[in-house]
Structure 1
Amino acid sequence: MDVVVGRIAKAHGIRGELAVDVRTDSPDERFKVGAAVTTKLRDGSKRELTIAAAREHSGRLLVRFEEVLTRDVAETLRGALLLADTDTLPPTSDPDEFYDHELAGLRAELADGTVVGKVVEIVHSPAGELLELDVDGRDVLVPFVRAIVPTVDVAGGRVVLDPPEGLLDA
């Protein structure tokens, strides 16, 4: 299974370097020289790339790939997702730490067991993480904080919600 570790924002400079929005807690491991990532382009096509260099710049990671040598080629990758195989992820030692792919698909229920939907994905925003839920066919964003999501039971396939009034309403 693949997990998103970044998204290519734009080309940077003339030598094929790319600005990447990081979506992983371990960028040093995921974007180390020699590491392989798969790009998933907007049209759904995929391509394997190898990290040639990576450095921080203005809140983003600038990455150069061995296979991308010019700005023109880099421009074709704008908006692509960078994927890594979940089998290569180290296990988490903190019981309150989760990989995004572990949460996607979990049942979302209230403390009384009432099922309200399921977790679609984790949205990483500047203000913090949000759970995107599918609630009766609607996308609902729920702040991923202990006060609202007191229980995450990956083994049991569920997250328990204690939402403030109106959060899940249409």
Structure 2
Amino acid sequence: MKPLPRFSWPRRGSPARVPALAVPLLALLAAAQLALPAAPADRPVARVARLALPPVPQAPGLVEVPPLLLQRSLFSPAGGAPANPVAGAPPVDPLGGMRIAGSVRLGPALRAVVQHPDGTVGYLPMGGRIGQWRLVGLDAQGARLAGPGGATLALPFGTRAAIAPPTPGSDDNQ
């Protein structure tokens, strides 16, 4: 048995024969590419178009907000009533900072979801009390409360109850 040379062609029937036959062809093509001259210099080169952009607009100046808009609540469902209907007198909160956040059915009973000022949540059954106010009705939009002296309060869910103090000279003070 005689030793094979370092480089030998693959044996007949070997799948490595095709790449081995392509090596001389690839070497010939690489030499031809190096020998050919570069692209002609007179061919125009594509240039990137530079467009003139308009200047950046200046920041808008400060806008003065009318005092009436500052008094209105942004988060009121009906666009908001003025926060201070009577100048100088803050509105009275009959529920002490509590809000009726919604309603939930627990078993057969419908209950109001009450959010306390500290963030805790409780459930108020029909006829239950928040301070001097008694829950008399719940519907899809809000709750109805009955208060002292036959007063009623209709609250949309999530709003804070606020009653304007009576104005001097109105019929409520007489």
* TM-score, normalized by the shorter chain, greater than 0.5: no
Q: Give the number of the structure whose alpha-carbon radius of gyration is greater.
A: 2
Higher normalized strand content (fraction of residues)? 1
TM-score, normalised to structure 2's length? 0.22
With normalisation by structure 1, the TM-score equals: 0.22
